[in-house]
Structure 1
């Protein structure tokens, strides 16, 4: 009876883990999966496989990226993660005495919490599962087999093979501690002979478990502000503008990234002139950020540039973002946008190189295969045709401090570009250029398509007339905060 209860209790635990993990990732944290998916580009080629397995831990890395590519389809990504958690729980239960089966939940919960660090790569949990699976299939009486298995296991799954060594020491009995000793010796000799080009610290802790080289996962769990910014970027990527505006009214993160996302959503709903200062504005960088070499900050700015018609700036920001990925991966999202920028600019030879990469992927290949490298095809696409009409007609350099002038020039090149007009006036307000705002306010009335002056502009004019002494004025509050140098 007790064996039956233990058996079915473990199965019930597996079912609960699978349901909980699926709902967690699919309902609560789909943006976390999107974040991981957009910073890799899995290619279905033998060269890609060989490149991955040519490094220690390469098989775990390849399998991790293989799974992550399916995050593009949220329910499928959540399902695969749930199965991975269940595999970890079942393997742990098999290695434990039957009466301790409930403890198989502990490593699952620990891994779940650890994956709250956005830089933990899926190759780490994959390697853990492979190490436990190897321990389960190895015969428990013959330790000499490990002499051949250990170097191969290290090369395939990386330093997590230490977990395998610990499990084997327990299986063989602590009286065989000498066995664990020579196992370690075999590993250390392999590190010294096979990996002279890698720092010993990195060889011992993993080349592909963590996105930042020579750093370790943080046990900080799911930081609310960090994941809120990831959510905003996810909503921008999928053009869910209403959801962004709604979310901005519920929770805010006082960063330029957050302001960029909210203002972009407002502009797409033609609400920027009315409601911009109803939300937190970080300062002059609230519309687009200056170039920042990291893998996240410039994404909403690049999306804004793309929709404005500043195609070259969008391409440059996306390229810099991709090159800032610390584990030197390509990005499916960035590569596609770079290819689109090249298509709009008519740089077909350069675009072909990006398209050839995307054609070897799973979820970007259908779009890449549909592209025809010709002006006729590009002009037949409504979005690309519109961007060709909006973009600058000449190439030139500019500094970030002149961004308001660039928005104004973009609008003057095509007065139908209402987003450029909104960004032009908004940037002057963010900089405190009230004289310039008043000078060009007539353009908003003439070309903005408004039936009446937007509420936000009315508020600004009242503040100018009353010298900022307007109770409850959103713009007055922003101006006072900027003058006081306080970021609230």
Structure 2
């Protein structure tokens, strides 16, 4: 179930998480993780997360770890019950379902699952130690050790050990209860003790609740607590429930238990899923990997509405050469769906950076990717940003800087071959120009410094077009910018800038904008040049007649169906929707 879910229905969440890490196969990288509490599980989590690059591998890892967690819970509970009450096997699925729900959040790390597995492994070791003195010595050292390698969830080990002592070994004297309670207090205070002894530079609340289970340092611990406590609860509850195997209604009870647990699990997973984000991530993934036809295919199934998805769609239309003919066949939500405003987060700059990279604004793309990487809340480096920054510095002929990024990427698993190949041609301009995309971008890039202005994007596009008049994509983005702003005056002024760009015919939306511009001039429709196709003229006249009549107000759906794929409909109506 978990494999099917993450591979078929949630794969783009995996790709999104993969791009926000950079696992390096180096000793220093490993030692850096070991130097902080919870570092080992964070290291293992990042190691597994790199395999999200291949969605089926990521789904397989998550599914395997969830099954392993369920097996460990069942193994401990069945051992405590002397292998009776195996009818309650289904209860062991509760922690796996809860953690599965947590993993639906792209900001919750797989660390939380790995930590639970490590804790249960130590609990299994505790369970096989027969001598009490040895067990308690093991407990005294294992609990603080778990805090250091696994983080704030370590105290779940204490609770499980308490349940084991109470229901498996039993027969404790009052003095032994006192010793056990003292051990519990000492070991549970590990965050305080380590914070004082090791001078840890973390707030105490972060040491208790993490600190590496979530990408954000400050989170509500409620959901974590629920999933953590479900582990000792699933073990404890089986010790107090009666056996059902000898009852006449055993089959009914098992069926009810199955229904409750699995329907509850499905409810948790579905309730935790965010298909809206999954759709946005799919657009971003395809844009990142330049799968333009996939983006258009997605949009043909259902119009994207959010700005980031529309940004990726417009980029795909431009890259496939149909922007001027197809842009307004899809929903448009203004300039934010063309060139998103810079946001201080780790999502929007990546998407906007893709657009600026393909437009030839290489330094702007570099800045956006760097800012996105630095905005990642857990301070990890991003392979996506590193790769883009290496490319831009290579094209800028900043070979030493590019080499620094490429050397890091060469120590990763899935980007190693690309990095090594790029390193081999780093001082060979001829080999660099053999890459058709890089050759084109070097032609587009600015040769003089200028200050990029977020508030004057049309002027930035204009400067780029003046620098390289054959840059078709920049020209189409400039035209799209004026059209989305309903700025027909500047559209008409900028339109001749495309004289060096070859079109077999004037793109449809440009014709629609031109005829609309001329229609509001003093001469009206009487002197429209012959450059406008006859079908476009006829459809515009029909649009004007329909819009002028009162009939369209009572037949808005019919009117929308008839004209929604024209620029005229956007010009007059979409502002009401936005």
**Does TM, normalized by the shorter one, top 0.5?**
yes
2:209 aligns with 205
Provide the C-alpha distance between the structure 1 equivalents of 2:106 and 2:220, rounded to a whole number of angstroms. Answer: 12
Provide the C-alpha distance between the structure 2 equivalents of 1:72 and 1:223, rounded to a whole number of angstroms. Answer: 20
SS at match of 2:345: coil
Contact 2:66 2:96 in 1 (8 A): yes
Q: Which range moved further: 251-260 or 196-205?
A: 251-260
SS at match of 1:290: coil
Provide the C-alpha distance between the structure 2 equivalents of 1:227 and 1:22, rounded to a whole number of angstroms. Answer: 16
Gaps of 5+ in 1: 1-19
Cα deviation 1:291-319 (Å, max 9, x = unaligned): 21101112221111111111111111111
Among 123, 141, 152, the residue aligned to 1:148? 141
Among 44, 53, 56, the residue aligned to 1:72? 53
* Equivalent residues in 2 for 1:465-476, closer than 5 Å: 465-466=518-519, 469=544, 472-473=563-564, 474-476=566-568
Is 2:481 aligned against 1:427?
yes
Is 2:38 aligned against 1:57?
yes
Contact 1:26 1:78 in 2 (8 A): yes
Q: Which range moved further: 185-194 or 207-216?
A: 185-194
Cα deviation 1:278-335 (Å, max 9, x = unaligned): 2222222221112211011122211111111111111111111111111000001110
Cα deviation 1:184-243 (Å, max 9, x = unaligned): 422354222322532111111001000000213768611222221111111112222122
2:102 aligns with 114
Contact 1:283 1:482 in 2 (8 A): no
Q: Which range moved further: 204-213 or 386-395?
A: 386-395
Contact 1:315 1:341 in 2 (8 A): yes
Among 346, 353, 370, the residue aligned to 1:319? 370
Gaps of 5+ in 2: 79-85, 224-267, 521-542, 548-558
2:516 aligns with 463
Provide the C-alpha distance between the structure 1 equivalents of 2:8 and 2:451, rounded to a whole number of angstroms. Answer: 44
1:215 aligns with 219
Provide the C-alpha distance between the structure 1 equivalents of 2:305 and 2:53, rounded to a whole number of angstroms. Answer: 29
* Equivalent residues in 2 for 1:353-432, closer than 5 Å: 353-371=404-422, 372-374=425-427, 375-432=429-486
2:571 aligns with 479
Provide the C-alpha distance between the structure 1 equivalents of 2:473 and 2:415, rounded to a whole number of angstroms. Answer: 29
CA-CA distance at 1:377 after TM superposition: 3.3
Provide the C-alpha distance between the structure 2 equivalents of 1:481 and 1:192, rounded to a whole number of angstroms. Answer: 61
Tell me: CA distance 1:416–1:131, structure 2 relative to 1, closer, same or farther (3 Å): same
1:133 aligns with 121
Provide the C-alpha distance between the structure 2 equivalents of 1:252 and 1:112, rounded to a whole number of angstroms. Answer: 30
CA-CA distance at 1:267 after TM superposition: 0.8
1:451 aligns with 504
Contact 2:453 2:460 in 1 (8 A): no
1:168 aligns with 161
Provide the C-alpha distance between the structure 2 equivalents of 1:435 and 1:286, rounded to a whole number of angstroms. Answer: 21
Provide the C-alpha distance between the structure 2 equivalents of 1:480 and 1:125, rounded to a whole number of angstroms. Answer: 52
Is 2:91 aligned against 1:103?
yes
Q: Which range moved further: 263-272 or 73-82?
A: 73-82
2:383 aligns with 332
Is 2:231 aligned against 1:227?
no
TM-score by length of 1: 0.90
CA-CA distance at 1:71 after TM superposition: 1.4
Provide the C-alpha distance between the structure 2 equivalents of 1:35 and 1:183, rounded to a whole number of angstroms. Answer: 43
Provide the C-alpha distance between the structure 2 equivalents of 1:299 and 1:69, rounded to a whole number of angstroms. Answer: 19
Contact 1:169 1:179 in 2 (8 A): no
Contact 2:147 2:191 in 1 (8 A): no
Provide the C-alpha distance between the structure 1 equivalents of 2:367 and 2:212, rounded to a whole number of angstroms. Answer: 27
Contact 2:18 2:50 in 1 (8 A): yes
Provide the C-alpha distance between the structure 2 equivalents of 1:420 and 1:180, rounded to a whole number of angstroms. Answer: 72
TM-score by length of 2: 0.76
Tell me: CA distance 1:346–1:146, structure 2 relative to 1, closer, same or farther (3 Å): same
SS at match of 1:288: coil
2:539 aligns with none
Provide the C-alpha distance between the structure 1 equivalents of 2:283 and 2:72, rounded to a whole number of angstroms. Answer: 37
Q: How many pairs were matched up?
A: 466
1:8 aligns with none
* Equivalent residues in 2 for 1:252-331, closer than 5 Å: 252-331=303-382
Tell me: CA distance 1:252–1:170, structure 2 relative to 1, closer, same or farther (3 Å): farther
Provide the C-alpha distance between the structure 2 equivalents of 1:229 and 1:193, rounded to a whole number of angstroms. Answer: 44
Provide the C-alpha distance between the structure 2 equivalents of 1:480 and 1:213, rounded to a whole number of angstroms. Answer: 46
Contact 1:150 1:183 in 2 (8 A): no
Provide the C-alpha distance between the structure 1 equivalents of 2:433 and 2:503, rounded to a whole number of angstroms. Answer: 30
CA-CA distance at 1:449 after TM superposition: 3.0
SS at match of 1:130: helix
Q: Which range moved further: 314-323 or 196-205?
A: 196-205
Contact 1:336 1:354 in 2 (8 A): yes
SS at match of 2:337: coil
1:7 aligns with none
SS at match of 1:274: helix
Contact 1:165 1:180 in 2 (8 A): no
Provide the C-alpha distance between the structure 2 equivalents of 1:246 and 1:158, rounded to a whole number of angstroms. Answer: 44
1:87 aligns with 68
Provide the C-alpha distance between the structure 1 equivalents of 2:366 and 2:179, rounded to a whole number of angstroms. Answer: 56
Provide the C-alpha distance between the structure 1 equivalents of 2:572 and 2:129, rounded to a whole number of angstroms. Answer: 72
Q: Kindly report the root-mean-square deviation, in angstroms, between the aligned alpha carbons of the 2 structures.
A: 2.2
Tell me: CA distance 1:402–1:24, structure 2 relative to 1, closer, same or farther (3 Å): same
Provide the C-alpha distance between the structure 2 equivalents of 1:180 and 1:449, rounded to a whole number of angstroms. Answer: 83
